[in-house]
Amino acid sequence: MQAASLYEAHLVLKTDSSNTRDREMTSFGVMYTWAEDTRVDLDQLLLAGQALTSAQIRSFAAWLRSSKAQANGVITQRKRRSLNLQIATCAAICSWFVEQFASPGTNPTQRAADVARLVASQQRSWKEVRTKVRSDPTAPDLTEAEIATIEQFLKPATRAATVGAAVATRDYLMWRMAIEFGMRKSEILAMRMIDCPTRAAPYFKVVRIEERGDEYRDPRKDPPRPKTLSRDLGFIIDATVFPRLVSEYVTTHRFKLVERHGKKVKQFLLPHDFLIIAKNGEPMSISAASDVARAVTAGTGIKFHWHLARHAFFQPRLRCRRGYTRSE
């Protein structure tokens, strides 16, 4: 798979996001599977700058749709969005190979114009095979009743007996960071101790990895990356649980168990300064945070994921009723 290796090298230079690289290479792998099933030499096409013909693009889209359809042939709206994302990714991959390897002419100016036409033709062909998705005029949100239910479920007093006080406090802290500040899951997981609020500096600091400096280290295989610009997030509700909740978690529950002289003891001084940790004391992974969201769904019956809390935070109708100051 020479083309795949070449494109992966391109992605390493193009983006620092492992999620982006994984998504694009997964879509590339799907294209290779289709090519093998239909006996298309994908490497030869891409490395010659020819990409796929319109007929091949339609064949690939039909093959992809069949893999996502239910027994009755219907493709759910969620799977349609996933399908369209894969199609858009594959379109970008094919266009890149056209730009790199197509040789319609020797004159540089003429070649640039010819390649632009080839890419535009490719994009039209890929766009034609996208599946129609029903538009949703409003972002998914949480009702006041759902927020109250999740709040009650995640309170440490409710869950400590079943999951332990440390885990219960951590999960509640993550929830409050999301619902009070609209933080993304990646921003919560990337939060460091020095970025947390204190009485002297009553705000969270969201800092992009690129601005952390050369000494920044994250032991996770797939480090979470804040997407937005760096910013300070101050307290904007009267009944905030901060900074008390952070202080309680750090001084009482942010530890790992180590064995000393045959006994399990708590070690509070960890070899990293990330705020949210797993049971083993390591920074919490993205998948582990998703497990917490699934636990909320199972415990409340509310289909929950972390981005819903961000949507709820930015919903003006609900913010007015949550104690936010008028100036905010």
Taking only the tens place, the pLDDT of each residue in 141-167 is 888 999 999 999 999 999 999 999 999
The confidence band for 326, taking pLDDT boundaries of 50, 70 and 90, is very low
The answer to whether position 326 is within a domain reads no
**Using the 8-state DSSP alphabet, how is residue 286 labeled?**
H
The verdict on 234 and 109 lying in the same domain is no
Q: What pTM was estimated for this model as a whole? A: 0.67
Same domain, yes or no: 56 and 104? yes
Q: Is 325 inside any structural domain?
A: no
Q: Band of the pLDDT at 20, cuts 50, 70, 90?
A: confident
Mean of the per-residue pLDDT values for the chain?
89
Angle between helix axes 77-101 and 18-38 (nearest 10 degrees) is 90
Same domain, yes or no: 296 and 215: yes
Question: Residue 260: which CATH number?
Answer: 1.10.443.10
Mean pLDDT of 83-90: 93
* Cβ-Cβ contacts under 8 Å for 228 (sequence gap 6 or more): 184, 187, 206
Side-chain-side CA neighbours of 182 within 13 Å: the count stands at 19
Q: Do 107 and 191 belong together in one domain? A: no
181/312 same-domain check? yes
